[in-house]
Amino acid sequence: MSRSKSVLTQLLQLLPHWRQQMYFKASLTALSHAMEDQVLAGSDQPLVIASFQRERFYRQEAQRYRRIAQKSSQVYVLAAPETDFKNCSDVYETIAFEPTDSLTQEWHLIVIGLNYASCLICQERTGTTKEENSSAMDNSRRFEGIWTFDRQVTQQAAHILLQRIQGYRPELKSKIQQARQTYLPSEVLAQNVDQFQSEVSDNRNWDTFNNNPDPFVQRLVTYLQASQYKLIKANHSLAIKEHKERLINSVTTAIRRSLNPDEILQVAVQKLGEGLGVSRCLVYRCQETDATAIIQHEFINAGISSIQGQTWPLKNNPLFKEVVALRDALTIDNAISDPRITKLLEQQNQSEDALQTLVKSCSILSWMLVPILYQGRLMGMLELHHCGPDPMLWKEEDVALVNAIATQIGVALIQAEAYANLQDLNEQLEALDRTRSNLVAITGHELRTPLSTIQVCLECLSTEPDMSPELRQVMLSAALQDAERMRKLVQDFLTLSQLESGRVQWNVEPLNLQECVELSLSNVRARHKDNPLPQIENLVTDELPLIQADGEWLVEVLAKLLDNACKFTSQEGKVTIQVSRSSPEHLEVTVADTGRGIEPKRLETVFDRFYQEEGALRRSAGGTGLGLAISRQIVHGWGGQIWAESLGKDHGSQFHFTVPIYFDQIPSQKERQKPSSPSLYPKKNRPKRSN
Ligand code: ADP
């Protein structure tokens, strides 16, 4: 019995001139209920045949049919079983047809009484869209078929259905036979299709025949259908609105979950691309003045080529320019015929320009560009591509939706930026706090150490009157030495703090580097007049261009580097100072020694405050551990670089720093011979320094 012919088709073969009508599901429900109520209100024991597409539809009406069965012994209910519906003879007959039967596509109700006959034979319209099939839009399901009060047509339909019932339940043969005898006249039973048709043609005016229900009833049905249609339209626009809101919500929720700009953009393209079902969705960061952008985030539908990683033209892209000028979305329904693209070609008289190449290589047929703005600032661009075969006509609501999402992305990106800045700031503050604590601890320690020596020496001197003059002298010298170390430490510490705080007033002037080197060398020699020094070779010539720096601070850096070189090189070793031109704008000063060298992993650390290889407690060479930190601050002050090189322990060290060449005035040979002298004495607001 499976795949049986449609009842409607069978009936329409008998009624070839019959016009089918379209009915919404809600209208059919109303008509069916009206027909059933007619049975419940009457007393003429009619034949009732109801066929439901699924058991679940029947279950909603089961109670009603139990009441209908009290009115007649000839009630037949058909349905495709889902759970417990089966062939059964209870208060009425149930007929479970196979799920493959064409009856699953149909809706039938037949009532034949003495005074009243009506039939509803409809088939569900196939090819309904996904939207229409969803349960939210259940009421928009549509059926086509016949609803009539015509007794003869109703009897014919009953005849077809009774045959079907007997096919499924042969044991009901005698009951069905009885129904035929009672409700179907012998002409109908004996008639073949041709006879029936000719009789109907003979006796009827087709218009009257088709409109046979009472005109008032017919009008009611028309109103019912019209209001149903309006309802469906309203539902449809509500569904679109709901879909849009759901999409915006889901994109917003997803992008708000992250503070990572890359994640935000990827989630946004993915959700938007999926939600709108476009071929390709792109998002890239860009500013108005950018020449190009790299496509980093992309969503592509199946079968669409990826353009991730490609460089996207912006500067010579008229579409990008238009969006930037408009500060609004731009849509192109058909890129092949759009004048903005084709006109451009004509104007340029070129066979193909970059934009045309782009359209072809990315197979873009319909295009939407939406700027991502935040307070008028362009932060990026969202692009939707539709790659055919037919162009997509962008609707205003699509543009509004993408615009709304672009706004959300803009806000999310700003939040992510603010968060990143805050994190940076936090890290800086934490580092500053760590430095401050370290500094307090180290400074405390550095100051306490010489202070303890001084205290011990002075205590001994005051409590031991019998101390030998030699020992007394040793004690006094030790106390004085550590007092001097403390003074230096305080001085260096103040200098460093002032440099680090940026409160130093730089007195930049054109200087002769050779003179500065000589001055610092004589300072070093004076400081070490009592100790033997290694050999010092000065290779700095007077052929150098003038430099631009603060002379006093420059001499300080040179002196510190020379001081260290002498300190960490034995008498037998050698210290060399030389200058080269490291770039057109800079001279590079190198202080090299053959001394104890620096381990490669310490080459950076030596510039940290208080770094001393021996550690704070074992100082053999004296010093404060602040010299290189101060030098770095000074060199950075004029925008130079400072770094150390060494092949390791006992392989000597080289300290390099760069200093800018003076360019405002190219000095003549004469002028070079008479350079302005560096300012060698402390200026106002400058801490007193000594080494
Ligand atoms: P200090 O007052 O201790 O010299 P610096 O900041 O000038 O302080 O130097 C820090 C540390 O860097 C020194 O204690 C030493 O360990 C290392 N250092 C600096 N210059 C040299 C050099 N020319 N040779 C070897 N080590 C050096």
> From the CB of 410, is ligand 1 less than 6 Å away?
no
Looking at residue 534, its pLDDT comes to 95
Sheet holding 297-300, edge to edge: 297-300, 280-285, 377-386, 366-374, 330-332
Percentages (nearest 5) of helix, strand, coil residues in the chain:
50, 20, 30
For residue 302, what are its two tokens?
């199946």
Among residues 278, 355, 347, 349, which one has the least CA distance to residue 320?
355
Looking at residue 673, its pLDDT comes to 42
Cis peptide before 81 (omega within 30 of 0): no
Query: Under a CB-based contact definition with an 8 Å cutoff, are residues 320 and 369 in contact?
Result: yes
Q: How far is the CA of 146 from the centre of ligand 1 (A)?
A: 104
Q: How far is the CA of 435 from the centre of ligand 1 (A)?
A: 20
Distance CA 308, CA 182 (A): 76
> From the CB of 568, is ligand 1 less than 6 Å away?
yes
Buried b (16+ CB within 10 A) or exposed e, 69-87: bebbebbbbbbbbeeebee
Distance CA 199, CA 202 (A): 5
Q: How far is the CA of 582 from the centre of ligand 1 (A)?
A: 25
Gyration radius (Cα) of the chain, Å: 49
Distance CA 541, CA 515 (A): 10
Query: Under a CB-based contact definition with an 8 Å cutoff, are residues 92 and 69 in contact?
Result: yes
SS3 state of residue 412: helix
Among residues 221, 189, 187, which one has the least CA distance to residue 203?
187
Looking at residue 386, its pLDDT comes to 94
Looking at residue 666, its pLDDT comes to 47
Supply the DSSP string of 239-265, one letter for each residue: HHHHHHHHHHHHHHHHHHT---HHHHH
Among residues 20, 27, 85, which one has the least CA distance to residue 57?
85
Q: How many residues does the chain have?
A: 691
Phi, psi of 307 (to 5 degrees): -125, 20
Residue whose Cα lies nearest atom 7 of ligand 1: it is 627
Distance CA 359, CA 398 (A): 21
pLDDT in tens, 585-603: 999 999 999 999 999 999 9
Looking at residue 228, its pLDDT comes to 80
Looking at residue 280, its pLDDT comes to 95
Query: Under a CB-based contact definition with an 8 Å cutoff, are residues 93 and 51 in contact?
Result: no
Query: Under a CB-based contact definition with an 8 Å cutoff, are residues 255 and 267 in contact?
Result: yes
Looking at residue 678, its pLDDT comes to 39
Q: Which atom of ligand 1 is nearest to the CA of 614?
A: 16
Question: Which segments of the chain have a pLDDT < 50?
Answer: 1-2, 128-136, 193-194, 196-211, 350-351, 616-620, 665-691
> From the CB of 611, is ligand 1 less than 6 Å away?
yes
Query: Under a CB-based contact definition with an 8 Å cutoff, are residues 591 and 577 in contact?
Result: yes
Residue whose Cα lies nearest atom 14 of ligand 1: it is 612
> From the CB of 142, is ligand 1 less than 6 Å away?
no
> From the CB of 120, is ligand 1 less than 6 Å away?
no
AA identity, residue 181: Q
Query: Under a CB-based contact definition with an 8 Å cutoff, are residues 278 and 301 in contact?
Result: yes
Q: What is the 3-state secondary structure (H, E, C) of 264-296?
A: HHHHHHHHHHHHHCCCEEEEEECCCCCCEEECC
For residue 13, what are its two tokens?
């073969």
Distance CA 368, CA 472 (A): 93
Distance CA 441, CA 453 (A): 19
**pTM (2 d.p.):** 0.47
Alpha helices in 7-54 (DSSP H): 7-14, 25-41
Q: Which atom of ligand 1 is nearest to the CA of 560?
A: 7
Residue whose Cα lies nearest atom 2 of ligand 1: it is 623
